[in-house]
Structure 1
Amino acid sequence: MLFRTLNLCIGGLLALLSVSCISVGSHDSLGSMKKSTKVAVADDSASHFICWNVHKASDEKFTEDVEELLEAVPEKNNLTLCFQEVRSTTFDMIKGLHREAVSGHYAPSWRLPFTKKSTGVLTIGNQPLPESGVVPIRAPRRELYVASPKVSLKSEIPLNDGRKIQVVNCHGLNFVPFSVLPKQLDRIFDTLEDSNAPAIVCGDFNVWSERRLKLLNQRTAEAGLVEAHPRGVEHSPAPRWLRWMNRINGFDPEIRLDRIYTRGLEVLDCYSHTGSESSDHLPLVLSYKVLPEE
């Protein structure tokens, strides 16, 4: 009887998890650019970009960390934030910390049971991010078959010369067979419309083994993307709950999970911001200029 009850409980829990995943075929547009005087990014000016897995923005120091991060990064030019593992309320938590009006897009991947609260990825900036360029990218498989499906998000930053920077904010799958990863990367890179257009592909790719990293580097090279290697040696520490995997799946705690790849850009600087403590990941900060069209 006890064994049967336990099985029913486990089955019920798995069923609950499976129905808790909301559709990611759509996205939410956030904020307004009405107060901003910016129209597009000047391709000859320095812009800034931050990529960060914020660990659901659940730590009480999160807003303090964001405020400190924004103070450390010049915002007088254009700034884009690509956050992974945000909550549906994260934008409202941080929109007032910017010195300029911000807007952007949120793509949900996981909804808590019986609520409208969700987690996903968030791309916002103090320059326009047009609705026309937004594409939510659903992962091909849920983690552990019934858990988080993960989602990535493509946006576009208009340039003054009529071009655009394609930005893909990625969250890589964990706890799936290796054969699933190429399928997720295919969906991500298939959204890049032009093989020569400026692009930034970034995120928490969960490349915790040499095999996973080799696959990611192969796909980015095929797309003409080059990694912006952060100066210094600091990077997010390996999560403690993952360290037990080092003997079974090739897990290497020295491999960075968070990465930024660029195309058609001149990388001026890239580094990990080490002052943040609210997440088990560190923000990656990139400054860049757009290369002239060939």
Structure 2
Amino acid sequence: MAQGALAEEPFEGMTLTFAEESTITAVYQVRRVLAHERSSLQEIAILELENWGKALVLDGVIQFTQRDEFFYHESLVHPAMMAHPNPRRVLVIGGGDGGVAREALRYPTVEEVTVVEVDGRVVELCRQHMPEFASSFDDPRVRLIIGNGRSFLEEQAGSYDVILLDSNDPLAELARRLFDPVFFRLCAEHLTDEGMLALHLSESLFREGYLGYEAPMVRGALSQLFRYVETIPMPYSTYPCNWWSFMVCSKGLDPRVVRNPHPFRGRYYDPAYHAWLFAPAAFIERLEMLKGTF
């Protein structure tokens, strides 16, 4: 798991910095520390960064910043929502900041968005310091549950049109049980026949442990459950090596096809190039062969 650290409180004239250490080390200048605490589950910080605006940081890892969050949230939500002909019930696992719910609520067909977030302090701090995201929880269509996403699926009946997995980094200990075959089977069982599952896959190219095990395992497990398992790469300035990827899965409908009659055009996502988002997938699937060649 990538680690990050805030420098000690600076002396007069010095600059406070935050460093995230992963396959590379990125150092950010900090204007203000809006929140910094350890909950019962993880370290949480909300920082105001020079050039990037407010940032949510969990266990030393940047989840998103104000300046580039639309790449992540739009790439996770809209390909799945646009591929479904009539998304009414949406389940978000994670998503305690409210950004994924915000995007799902843009569709007039949506009747309910259930958000299951394991750490209630993330929700509380984002409500206080990031209302531009967390205000989505005030929408009457949103049902917020503080609890374990896996346990929720094990204990609840019912099905969803779209399930969106907005967890921590797959290498983070807190998220590991959301990236195994048993959990993926639970997701498949709770999807309608036309349902879509979308999840993020971390950086697939430069992180040896992830490339060597988790990415092929995730793809293989999903392929046992879904007819379509499609990959979307995405640029992201504040993620390690500026490269990230997602998967969109379906038991019956090709996610590469737009079916939603209410097109959404965002800052990054556009239905006009929906199919193009999936075009580099063959490269993603060849990444295993690149291991050890550079």
TM-score by length of 1: 0.41
Determine which structure has the larger helix proportion and give its number: 2
TM-score by length of 2: 0.41
**Higher RCO, 1 vs 2 (CA within 8 Å, ≥6 residues apart):** 1
